Each structure stands twice: as structure tokens, then as C-alpha cells.
A and B are shown apart, each in its own frame.
Chain A
């Protein structure tokens, strides 16, 4: 079996003097989609930011076996980590086409030639972006901006794609449409995905593996089949599960 795309061991992260992640272990297998679940304050966004290098962290982070912990965010991005941040992070004063172009500029040098083909692929995956090509990104709806952010991140051909709370602020129908594209994304773009989401049921429909967090620690982890009935996850969300006690056991 090939090395996992992402392997995180004993990751701790802090905001200033307050520790937000207390030693987290996560693995994202090659080509797998791992759903990172948990309520508000569980540490999902912090985990993604720590992997991206945006917040200070200690612990081991291996990307395809290569350590990337401690590197600056731009360097981590260059190593092949794409990050679709919470709140989309589109450049609101630039057009859709310019936003996407920024994604192509972030491609590894060896893939520069195939940028146009990939751009067509993005437009195929998200047809609405082709329509809105010349429009300023700030005028797009939330769902369209989410697709733009996703397309832009994909154009950099990342090995690992981090997606943070894509459903935030989106209507349920739009969210379903968006999640439906994740399968295509994984296949067409040959990338592994770590998806942080509060919406557990929707995530379970697309995930291969699941990690549930609470209080800055991993509460449960395993392949998606284990979580079909959802009661274990519900327990964690409702605080019936004490991850600290588990860790101390």
C-alpha cells in the first residue's frame, strides 16, 4: 500500500498562549476523502490551519512522507497543499477569470503546460464559473464563490486539498450540489481531500473515512462504514463522549 498523502502525529497548535489542539493524530490515505467532523470549537479549522502552516504548531506533519511542519504557509502551499479557507477567501475585486488564473500560477513548474486543459476541466466541473468569467468575484453569490474558491485551489494541482466548512452560509440545496462535485473532484483531479464540516450527514455521504473531534482532540476515527448509524457521532457532538478520559485511559 502506498504511503498516505497526509500523516499527522501528535499535532499541537496554539493561538497566542492558549493551546487549541492537544496532540492530534490524523491520516489521509492516498485518493481518500476524510471527513473531519465536530461541533463549534472542536478544533477542525485549527487543524486545517496548522497543516497549512498558517498557525504555529508542533508535532509531525508528513506530506507523502515528506515533513512540512514548521514551514511558512507559502512554502507549504508550494509543496502541494491546497487550502479552501473558511469564508471562501476569494479576491473580491478581481474577476472570476483572474481568480482562477491565480490558481494556475500556483501550479508546480512541471505542470505549467497543461494549465489550459485544467482550466477547461474546472469550467466543466463548475459550468456557472464559465458564465461568470468576466464578472468581479465580489458580486457572485455565496455558493458560486465557494465553487470559485474550490476551482482556484484545484488549478494548483495540489496533492492534498483542505476544505474548511464549505457549507457555511449556503442553502441546503446548494450544499448538496456542491458535495456532489466532491466525488468528481477526487477522481478527475487525482487529489486527497481533508474536509472539515459541521454537517455530519452530508459529509458521511461522500467520505471514505471519518475523524470526529471534540475539545481539540480526536474523539473517534475510522472508515465511514463504522459510522453508518450516526449515534456515536451524535454522542460526541452532544458532549456525551469525553475524549480526555479516552486519551488518559
Chain B
């Protein structure tokens, strides 16, 4: 029965992938823009899931790291004239360095204070961006015209090409993260998040693994940020305020902090709930009312799906399949 469950999951993912590949040919470029944006954010949320769901650390600053990735990529393409994939690589390197630095600082400050450190970084990041005008263009930011522009021979619009490239990257990232967490590394992480004391006594290098995980999640966030900046063709400080980091955190929790599908669900909420809220409320005072609807939606998700929406969906699925299976024998559980 377990094997059947696994097969269903794989089939579900393949269906989603197929739909994804078909999407650019069905939706308008305008709609595709939002969907590509969703995918870039999903990449970042997946990185955050690795950090929070698997290693048990909290980051309220991944928005800033995302922003570092975006700015680096656009500086490479816009100011230095590099091709997009080289800019992406540079963004990954810079975010790796940043991640190692932050992770190391956090360890020195007592692991429990990572949250505060990251929120400080998230708060200070836009301020630094504005100050560093020569590099970052200050308040007006950096503009680089469509780095992922589609060449003539490919027969796709730029929007379609962007979507497919980001989709492919998301698949690669998710597969990579999944393989990472289902091997020995993943089990070590599970030990760390359940009981750091036990993990240490089992010979697991807790601090090193925590640092590694933070660094990897930084790189992943940087990838998402680079693509985000590419499709917007713009990087401005206002996109990367503390609120964005908080939104990423919420997306991770609401989707399911240990679920890869949850990363997509969480990203969808970030991208679509505000617009949904605005359409529900409509009109003049939209801003505050839509924030209220967003907050309500968030709270309801947390209350009714404490393990994340992805978890809720699988729970329902499991309950449905159990009803169809034979009645299990009552067994005595082992105590303690």
C-alpha cells in the first residue's frame, strides 16, 4: 500500500509538470508573468523549507538574500554586460558567501538567535541599497532590458521562454533538494531538528551541518532572486523590504514547512492572495482591506492546517484511501 501511495505522488508530480510545460502555450504573456513570478518565489520558499523544515532553523531574512541574488544578477547583466546564465552563477556565488557569513555569525551568537540576526539583515538591507547608490542605483534601482530575451529561431515569446527556463530550474532545484533530504544528510538533519543533544552524542557535526544547510538555502534563494529580477527586468529596494521576508516565512509555514509541494502552494499564496483580496474588496480602500483579508487567510490556514496546506491535502487523501482499505487489526502499542 505504501508503494501505491508513492506511485500516486510521482504521477501527481508528472501531471503537474506536464501542465507546467503546456502552460506557456495556453496562457497569455500577461498571465504568464505572474506564473513565472510564482515559480521564482517557489524556488526561494523551497530553500527556506530546507532550512526551516529540515534543519529546524528560522530565518526572517530570506527576502534580503533573494534581493542580493536579484541585484547581483542585474548588476552583472546590466552594468557588466554579462550573459544571463553567468549573472545567475555570480548571484549564486555571492549568496553562498553571504549565507556562509550569516550562518557563521549566527552560530557564534548562539543558534537560537538566527531569527533576530536575519530580521536585522532584512530590515537593514533596503537602507543599505538606498545608500549604495553608485552600485545599486539607490532608490531608482537597476534596470536591464529582458536579459532572457528569446532569440528569433526559437519560435517562443520572451515570456514563454522565461517561464520554461524558470520551470526547468525549479525542477532541478526541487529534485536536488529532495535527493539531499532523503539521503544520509537528510537523516542527520532530522536528528538535529528533533533533538540536537542526541544528534551531537550520535557523532553528528551539528554546527557544520547547520551552517551547510543555511548556505545551501541561501544559494537557492539567490537563484530565485536572480530569476525574479530577470523577469521583472528591474531591481528596486522597495521589492525587498522586511515585509517580503516575512511573507516568504509565512509562505513556507502555510504551504508546509517540510513539503516541496508546499513551496509551490506557499508561493501561490504570496502571489495571488493579495490580488484575490483586492478583487474581493475592490475599490478605493482596497489596500488596507486586502491586507486584512490576507491576514485572515493566513490565520485560517494556520489554524485549520497546522502542518501546512500540503500536509492537509495528503491527510485528506490518506483518510479517503484508508476508508477503502481493509480494517486493520488492533495491536498493542509499545509504551515509552
Question: 7 A-B contacts, Cβ less than 8 Å apart?
Answer: A18-B330, A20-B332, A41-B332, A41-B335, A43-B335, A44-B335, A46-B335
B182 adjacent to chain A (CB < 8 Å): no
Give 1 or 0 for each of A32-55: 1 = CB within 8 Å of chain B CB.
Answer: 000000001111111000000000
**List of A residues within 8 angstroms of B330 by Cβ:** 18-19
Interface residue ranges of B322-336 to A (CB < 8 Å): 330-336
Selected from A15, A40, A215, A216, the residue in CB contact (under 8 A) with B336 is A40
**List of B residues within 8 angstroms of A40 by Cβ:** 334-336
Q: Kindly state the separation between the CA atoms of A43 and B330 in the bound complex, as whole angstroms.
A: 14
Q: Kindly state the separation between the CA atoms of A46 and B336 in the bound complex, as whole angstroms.
A: 10
**List of A residues within 8 angstroms of B332 by Cβ:** 20, 41, 43, 215-216
B335 touches A18 (CB 8 A): no
Q: How many residues of A contact B (CB 8 A)?
A: 14
B interface secondary structure, majority: loop
Q: Which residue of A lies closest to B331 (CB)?
A: A18
Q: Kindly state the separation between the CA atoms of A18 and B330 in the bound complex, as whole angstroms.
A: 6
Q: How many residues of B contact A (CB 8 A)?
A: 7
Interface residue ranges of A201-220 to B (CB < 8 Å): 215-216
**List of B residues within 8 angstroms of A42 by Cβ:** 335
A129: shortest Cβ distance to chain B, in Å? Answer: 27
Q: Kindly state the separation between the CA atoms of A15 and B336 in the bound complex, as whole angstroms.
A: 13
**List of B residues within 8 angstroms of A45 by Cβ:** 335-336
**List of B residues within 8 angstroms of A216 by Cβ:** 332
Q: Kindly state the separation between the CA atoms of A45 and B336 in the bound complex, as whole angstroms.
A: 8
A86 adjacent to chain B (CB < 8 Å): yes
Q: Which residue of B lies closest to A42 (CB)?
A: B335
**List of A residues within 8 angstroms of B331 by Cβ:** 18
Interface residue ranges of B283-336 to A (CB < 8 Å): 330-336
**List of B residues within 8 angstroms of A46 by Cβ:** 335
Give 1 or 0 for each of A84-102: 1 = CB within 8 Å of chain B CB.
Answer: 0010000000000000000
Quick one: which of B332, B334, B336 has the most chain A CB within 10 A?
A: B332
Q: Kindly state the separation between the CA atoms of A15 and B331 in the bound complex, as whole angstroms.
A: 11
**List of B residues within 8 angstroms of A15 by Cβ:** 333
Q: Kindly state the separation between the CA atoms of A20 and B330 in the bound complex, as whole angstroms.
A: 9
**List of A residues within 8 angstroms of B336 by Cβ:** 40, 45, 86
Q: Kindly state the separation between the CA atoms of A45 and B333 in the bound complex, as whole angstroms.
A: 12
Q: Kindly state the separation between the CA atoms of A216 and B335 in the bound complex, as whole angstroms.
A: 11
Q: Kindly state the separation between the CA atoms of A43 and B334 in the bound complex, as whole angstroms.
A: 9
Q: Kindly state the separation between the CA atoms of A208 and B185 in the bound complex, as whole angstroms.
A: 54
A19: shortest Cβ distance to chain B, in Å? Answer: 5
Q: Kindly state the separation between the CA atoms of A46 and B332 in the bound complex, as whole angstroms.
A: 11
Q: Kindly state the separation between the CA atoms of A215 and B332 in the bound complex, as whole angstroms.
A: 6
Give 1 or 0 for each of B199-221: 1 = CB within 8 Å of chain A CB.
Answer: 00000000000000000000000
Q: Which residue of A lies closest to B336 (CB)?
A: A40
Q: Kindly state the separation between the CA atoms of A86 and B336 in the bound complex, as whole angstroms.
A: 9
Q: Which residue of B lies closest to A214 (CB)?
A: B332
